Amino acid sequence: MRPRKFIDDGLFLVSFTVALGVASMIIPARGQDNPSAQPTQAPAMDQPQTPAVQAPQTPADMGLVRTTDTRFRIAYTKPGTDWSRFKTINLHALAVPPDAADAAPASARTRGRESFILGDREISSLQDAFAQAMRSTLSGAGYTFVDTPQADTLVIAPTVQDITLSAPIERTRMSGRTRTYTQGGGSISVAAVFADGGTGEVIGTAAATNRPSNIWRINNRVTNMADARNAFNEWARALRDTLQGRYSGR
């Protein structure tokens, strides 16, 4: 049996990298917040322009510190954040970037039109399954989902970091009655960024990897989606327990 590992050190910094992109979507431009701000004068056309070089940001740059808790799980957090005050959830759609959509293992072999690259259908199914798991679990815990963040809203922006499939996607396999059996269905890694809905400030990041058992079994769309749902449900329960247990004291 390959162990299920909910903490993955390799994804800690990856989840923070995601935070930088998500922050730009969540935090409004400061110039828009201040209507009295004066526009910057355009530079003279005959002056050579030196492109600004920004050093890579670190968790410390955003005021985040490494979490030592071994239960979930939030990789970096903003010290002093009162997680128990969040009563509503603003959930972003699960992002699946192109590099994560290529689910080929290191030893991938294909025949004919077989492919490990997830298409729109597979991505949509993953997004729906993730949203359903989060909404079902957190709604059952008393949280309300909102479309517009407010003062008591926890913004959750999840991203798939990696997917590895044990066999090519079923719809691309050679036609016929042959069944495909594999030792386990693969693995999926998800990172998420948490932000304060009232301020737009990033207050935490998390990363998790789920690897189902490696027993030999039939491999098809149904079994692969079942593995994904199990992973998402486990992820949602861990987040629920973290928010209500460690941070709220309940």
Q: Is residue 70 part of a domain?
A: no
Cβ(104)–Cβ(37) below 8 Å: no
- Total structural domains within the chain: 1
Q: Is residue 57 part of a domain?
A: no
Least confident segment among 31-35, 181-185, 186-190, 208-212: 31-35
Cβ(149)–Cβ(194) below 8 Å: no
| pLDDT for res 17 | 52
- Going by pLDDT thresholds of 50, 70 and 90, the confidence category of residue 25 is low
Radius of gyration, CA atoms only, the chain = 21
Q: Is residue 71 part of a domain?
A: no
For range 61-89, the mean pLDDT: 77
Q: Which residue do the tokens 């016929």 mark?
A: 176
Q: Is residue 3 part of a domain?
A: yes
Cα separation, 179 vs 162, whole angstroms: 26
Pairwise pLDDT comparison (160 vs 58), residue with the higher score = 160
What is the pTM for the complete model shown? 0.75
Any idea what the CATH number is for the domain that residue 13 is in?
A: 3.40.50
Q: Is residue 53 part of a domain?
A: no
Pull the structure tokens for residue 45: 């056309």
Does pLDDT of 176 surpass 50? yes
Q: Is residue 32 part of a domain?
A: no
Q: Which helix (H) or strand (E) holds 74?
A: strand 74-77
Does pLDDT of 2 surpass 50? no
Q: What is the span of the domain harbouring residue 19?
A: 1-25+86-104+115-250
